[in-house]
Amino acid sequence: MSSTSGNAARSEQIWLDGKLIKWDEGQVHVMTHALHYGLGVFEGIRAYRTHDGRLAVFRLREHIERLFDSAHICMMKLPYTVEQLMEACLELLRKQKDQFANGAYLRPIAFMGDGAMGLGAINPTRVAVTAWDWGAYLGDKGIREGIRAKVSSFTRMHVNVNMVRGKISGQYVNSILAKREAVLAGYDEAILLDISGFVAEASGENIFLVNKKGIIKTPPLSSPILDGITRDTVLKILRDSGRSVDEVTVTRDALYIANEVFFTGTAAEITPVREVDNRTVGAGKPGPITQYVQETYFRTVRGQEPRYIEWLTYV
């Protein structure tokens, strides 16, 4: 899996609390409240090289608006406007866009800073934006051929435990444990069920399936899932093509006997699933609907689909 370590390209600067500073100066104190208790919110946003060589951020406004929603859920007041944080993302890329030949992954994050400690503390909110070159999250081969997934022994947290509309830092421990369990068992990704045993989502992706009748299904937003922006993009692409999508609860064995299964997410993009719990999905390779979604998605983010051009913010 790709990471920011090694020789991966990263921005020479980061945006921290309203100004650009050198990457190595982007530090916080060890007594930062969020480090101890996990009170922070974040986004993952991709910028792509478009077909004409420009750099464009995909669905920037929607991501930043969700960041504000996440902060509101956590009762964190952000000291900036949506427009200011959108501009922060763009400013960071403008300063070094030539180094991101393959595009960039942006990480806006807001977190409770240092000051008082304890669960009742209320410290100033700090905000940062970083960028790096992050390839296919589940691997280029996974994008092409599909990945192996395992239903996790960890459960996606109940809606009274997990604020499911927020991308909240501390909540991702649940996903980390599920992901590690799957990888240590020899799989690529974990699938988490809800407390009733229905499919929720993967450790960091939403999930779609196509059954033997050709019906496309995805868990509904009444399930404990993130309201994924890539999920929304795929719903739009599929419905605009004349296909219907049922947003309904599904069981794990529905994945076993599906013709196609695929994950969606900003990091994972559109990743086919060729196997779940040692059961081959369909023909064991990306199916026609998955391929259609992949092709349309990548054309869209590269500026080759005029009907979706409003989703791109050019740097």
Question: Catalytic residues, which ones?
Answer: 167
End-to-end CA distance of the chain: 27
Q: How far apart are CA 232 and CA 72, in angstroms?
A: 21
Give the C-alpha separation, 264 to 226, whole Å. Answer: 11
DSSP state of 7: T
* Residues 6 or more apart in contact with residue 72 via CB below 8 angstroms: none
Going from the C-alpha of 67 to that of each of 26, 61, 192, the distances in angstroms are 20, 10, 23
Residues 6+ apart with CB under 8 A from 53: none
Residue 80 class from Cβ within 10 Å (0-12 exposed, 13-18 middle, 19+ buried)? middle
